[in-house]
Amino acid sequence: MTRAASLRRLSPLLALALLLGALALFPAAPAEAQSPAAPTNLTVSAGINNGELYLLWTAPSGTITGYDVHYTSAPATGAGAVADSAAASGSDPAAGWLALTRTTAQATTASHSIGSLTNDITYRVRVRAVNSGANSAWVFGTGIPGAVWTATLTVDQNGFFYGCSNATAGQDDCSSATVLTEDQFRHGGTTYTVGDMWWESNTDRFVFNIENVFARATKTALSSLTLNVDGTALAIGDVTAELGDQTISWPYDPATDWTDGQTVQLTARVTSGSADRTGSASSTRSGAGAPGVGSKTAQLSVSSSRRER
């Protein structure tokens, strides 16, 4: 083989070697960051304070560095609409999405409270996970500050007792959606179940019980709430709860006596403080007698047991 032929045979190998050598001089481009999965199970409920929403979600798997949390009171369609995909801007929640600032301690916490909101206005919220250089898809929810619980009760009469009860034979269960349209509400990150409620026509009092929660714990957990029964406000924080009491109750004399099958509108709302009332809070134990039949003063009572019936 001639020298020229040998060089021609080696030239492709030489060219490859030179190419590989040149590539070694330049580091490979970093891999593109992978977007994290979106959060799931987003819930939005009225917070424990007036004008507040509480957001809770499930963190996605994988590594994240934080979350973006935005809110707006603008509608998604119609006049003044703000699209789900619109960028956050400005400082007016009625005009666009507002981005919340999360502290370092909050960065990867799968919850957030939004304060300084207006009660009884529907707010839209969106949350997404963030990692180095990439974001997940948004997840969306809505909530109304102040309104913790709204339900309609279809009254069932059982002697002097008009309402519903999960514990009393012969009384329609509060757990039935045809009796109580919503028997659960969320407050301060905890879900509560209404187990009993009724108006006692012989003593003119309204009785309310949270399932598996004693009266003292109910007052502690729900003291910022006011229960509204067909327009009559009953503040939970004003109740005096003794150790061992199971249900809370208030003097309640409806303008028109309840009847079997009628509907009653119920709400539980966050209030900034106790409304002005006459009289003082008191406690009435089982068998102590009904407090002031027909009275609509602020005297509030606690019954010793829902099973006293």
Domain tally, the chain: 2
265-289 residue pLDDT tens: 999 999 854 333 322 222 222 222 3
> Is 19 domain-assigned?
no
| 161 & 294 share domain | yes
**High-pLDDT (> 90) share of the chain, %:** 67
CA pseudo-torsion sign 265, 268, 270, 275: positive
pLDDT at 5: 53
Residue 86 burial by CB count (10 A; 0-12/13-18/19+): exposed, middle or buried? Answer: middle
Looking at per-residue pLDDT, the higher value among 238 and 25 belongs to 238
- What CA–CA distance (Å, rounded) separates 307 from 104? 50
Residues with Cβ within 8 Å of 99's Cβ and at least 6 positions away in sequence, in order, are: 68, 69, 70, 88
Looking at 143, 162, 191, which one is the last position of a domain? 143
Looking at 128, 143, 158, which one is the last position of a domain? 143
- What CA–CA distance (Å, rounded) separates 131 from 161? 57
166-184 residue pLDDT tens: 999 999 999 999 999 999 9
User: Domain range holding 189?
Assistant: 147-308
> Is 127 domain-assigned?
yes
| 159 & 282 share domain | yes
What value does the mean pLDDT of the chain take? 83
Looking at 114, 143, 172, which one is the last position of a domain? 143
pTM for the model: 0.65
184-243 residue pLDDT tens: 998 888 999 999 999 999 999 999 999 999 999 999 999 999 999 999 999 999 887 888
pLDDT at 202: 97
| 54 & 203 share domain | no
- What CA–CA distance (Å, rounded) separates 52 from 49? 6
Confidence of residue 294 (pLDDT cuts 50, 70, 90): very low
> Is 3 domain-assigned?
no
